[in-house]
Amino acid sequence: MDYKLVAIDLDDTLLANDLQISKRTVKAIKEAQNEGVRVVIATGRMHSSALPYAKMLGLKHELITYNGALVKRVVDNQTLYHEPISTELVRKVAKVAQKHDLHINFYLDDLLYVNKTGVEADYYEEIAGIKPILITEDVGDFLDRPSTKLLIIENDRTKLEEVFSELTAGFADSVTITTSKVNFIEIMGQQVCKGTTLANVATKLGIKAEEIIAIGDSYNDLEMIEYAGLGVAVGNAKEEIKEEADYITGTNNEEGVAQVIEKFIL
């Protein structure tokens, strides 16, 4: 099969645990592009957090961020697609998070706002490289416009699972709720996921699902892996993701992405 597009998750997939991309992987991605293959990052991260990696890899086209809620073109920063969560729903989800005294990220105009400081805010800043802005007024008053995504961070797994269940019971019909890292709950607008956005991008480009490779590790990558002709799980992926994948490559620390590109494209 001549693959025309490769969609790659960032954290725990393309990035090793030190948040770097190996020289071998950079080389493979650049060579794939030279062969005419479109390489697209599809991440839960903010656009501003993912952009430096896209530029380092020489990507020029679509950058899928916020789990598919925002697509911008790398070369000129033009917004191609944006599907945020409505102000009303943002307020309702925020109430649930605050009732349980949880840390929550709001994303407005690609800026990061948080309801409180602490270990969760510090952890997110460390991995994303984005300085959070603390909301000093009442959160309900502050939230006067849609948020591209919401992210709850909680290190107590039992508490996190309880809130995940509560949110699913209350909002499953109006938002998309998923997880990426073990201490994250990711919330997007209804129907928003990496798979749907990737399908929209591919359709506009005239690329069929079977001509696509998608590589990921976690639950927010599932729809993308199911959609692609070759759905790939890295070796460190969640077991449920491996079960749905067509192929399992090396881990994020073993240059699993480079292995896939070298095997199926180069």
Could you list the active site residues?
9
Question: How far is the C-alpha of 208 from the C-alpha of 137, rounded, in Å?
Answer: 48
**Is beta strand 133-134 parallel, antiparallel or unpaired with respect to 230-233?**
unpaired
Question: Got the DSSP string for 56-96?
Answer: HTT--SEEEEGGGTEEEETTT--EEEE--B-HHHHHHHHHH
Strands (E), 115-182: 133-134, 150-153, 175-178
Identify the residue whose tokens are 């499953």.
Answer: 172
Residues belonging to the chain: 266
Sheet holding 62-65, edge to edge: 62-65, 70-73, 79-82
Three-state DSSP class for 75? coil
Please tell me what DSSP assigns to residue 221. Answer: G
